[in-house]
Amino acid sequence: MAFKIKYYLCKIHFNLSKSFKYLLVVFCLISFKFQQPSTFDANSKIKAVFLYNYTRYFEWPEKKKVDNFVIYVVGKNENLIMELKNLATKKKVGNQEIEIKNSSTFDPAVTSHIIYFTPEAAKPLGDAASKNKGKGTLVVAETPGGCKSGASINFIAIDNKLKFEYNKNAAVKAGLKTNEDFKALAAVNID
Partner 1 sequence: MCNLRHITKNLLLGVLMLGSACLYAQENALARAQQLLRAKPPGYMEIAALTIDSVIVHPQTKNDFVAWTTRAFIYFEFYKLHDKLKLNSAHRDTIVNSLLVANSLQPDSNYLVQNNKLLVNLSKNYFNLSRTLLQDSVNDQRSAIAYNRYKALYRMVDPKMDFSSDDVKYYLAVGSQYSALFIKDNNDTKSQDVAKVALLKVLEIQPDNPTANINMGLMYYNQAVNLSKSLDYGADFSQIDIVQENMVKLAKQSEQFIIRVYTNDNKNLKAIEALYYIYRMLNEPAKSDDFKKKGEELGIKFSDQTADKEK
- Provide, rounded to whole angstroms, the least separation between the CB of residue 82 and partner 1: 6
Residue 41 is a binding residue for partner 1 (CB under 8 A): yes
State the angle between helix axes of 42-54 and 78-90 in degrees (0 to 180), rounded to the nearest 10: 50
Residue 91 is a binding residue for partner 1 (CB under 8 A): yes
- Provide, rounded to whole angstroms, the least separation between the CB of residue 131 and partner 1: 28
In this structure, is the dihedral angle defined by the CA atoms of residues 108, 111, 115 and 121, taken in order, positive or negative? negative
- Provide, rounded to whole angstroms, the least separation between the CB of residue 119 and partner 1: 8
Q: How far is CA 133 from CA 49, 154, 165, 174, in A?
A: 25, 17, 19, 4
Q: Which is nearer to partner 1, 11 or 133 (CB)?
A: 11
Residue 18 is a binding residue for partner 1 (CB under 8 A): no
Say what the alpha-carbon torsion angle 146, 147, 152, 158 is, to the nearest 10 degrees.
80
> Which of the ranges 38-46, 63-71, 122-130, 145-153 carries the binding residues for partner 1, by CB under 8 A?
38-46
Residue 86 is a binding residue for partner 1 (CB under 8 A): yes
Residue 104 is a binding residue for partner 1 (CB under 8 A): no
Binding partner 1 (rule: CB under 8 A), the pick from 16, 63, 107, 177 is: 16
Residue 147 is a binding residue for partner 1 (CB under 8 A): no
Cβ neighbors of 50 (< 8 A, separation 6 or more) are 155, 162, 164
Cβ neighbors of 167 (< 8 A, separation 6 or more) are 147, 148, 151, 152, 153, 154, 189, 190, 191
How far apart CA 46 and CA 114 sit, in angstroms, is: 16
Positions that interact with partner 1 (CB under 8 A): 1, 4-6, 8-9, 11-13, 16, 19-20, 23-24, 26-27, 29-46, 48-50, 52-53, 78-79, 82-83, 86-87, 90-91, 119, 157, 159-162, 185
